[in-house]
Amino acid sequence: MTFNGVNVSCLRKKKGHTAQCICLVDHSGNRTMRPCLSNAVKVQAHELVREDFKGSKWLVLRYAILNLEVIQAAISLAKQEGLLVSLDLASFEMVRKFKAPLMKLLESGNIDLCFANEDEATELLRDEHNADPVAAVEFLAKYCKWAVVTLGHNGCIAKHGKQMVRVPAIGEAKAIDATGAGDLFASGFLYGMVKGLSLEECCKVGACSGGSVTRSLGGEVTLENRQWMYKQMQIRDLRMPDVLCK
């Protein structure tokens, strides 16, 4: 992470077990994950301090019931420092089993941006007559300033205020491995937000970054695929990372 320019000064180091996760990928590139977090060391809510958030613009979170106290503490401190908060719904199983606490988070008004994939969006509206992606974006937009539903090879739908955009996927028609695609999409979208890009441009950057990781096996973007991503951004006249412009 340091090699890639990530500031890890706030990283906590503890003795104990690291969480494990098995990623299963089928011949179509679809993936599922089976994590084991039971005995893993974790950051505790009382360990977070305001200094952890100073100078940042966004707090990026994934919904998980095991970390709910940490999530709530982090949001509270982040808001004290004026940060915007992004929440990824993490998995349709998490939404199905722990929908009530999730709705409390959304209803608090502290979630500025919410990401959901198509399965998570469908699960969120399971009891509704209309559970399509557009309805899910509309639903999330009632609680968040920005709402995004990713649709795999069909791209994404996003809404901010009265504006709604639909952007097609960028990349191979058939993914080799979708592991990491959601996280990479979110990172690209958030990059666009930090750089002040439009809603449509944020989606396009997300599509470029998300598409880059599906071109090979594993959740890490290879150098070749990183260059592919930059080329796709250039073709679409999207703002490139500053490090590439120097």
Asked if residues 111 and 143 have their Cβ atoms less than 8 Å apart, the reply is yes
Residue 35 CB neighbour total at 10 angstroms: 14
In whole angstroms, what is the distance from residue 208 CA to residue 120 CA?
22
Task: Report the candidate in 167, 179, 168 with the shortest Cα–Cα distance to residue 215.
Answer: 179
Helix (H) or strand (E) holding 87: strand 84-88
Chain Cα centroid distance, residue 238: 20
Give the CA count within 13 Å in the CB-facing half-sphere of 15. 0
Instruction: Verify whether residue 127 is a known catalytic residue.
Output: no
Structure-token match 């739908």, residue found: 157
Instruction: Report d(CA 79, CA 42) in Å as an integer.
Output: 22
Nearest alpha-carbon partner for 113 in 90, 72, 141: 141
Catalytic residue (choose from 26, 52, 183, 242): 183
Which of 196, 173, 188, 174 shows the shortest CA–CA distance to 221? 188
- Angle subtended by helix axes 223-235 and 199-213, to nearest 10: 150
Q: Return the active site residues.
A: 183
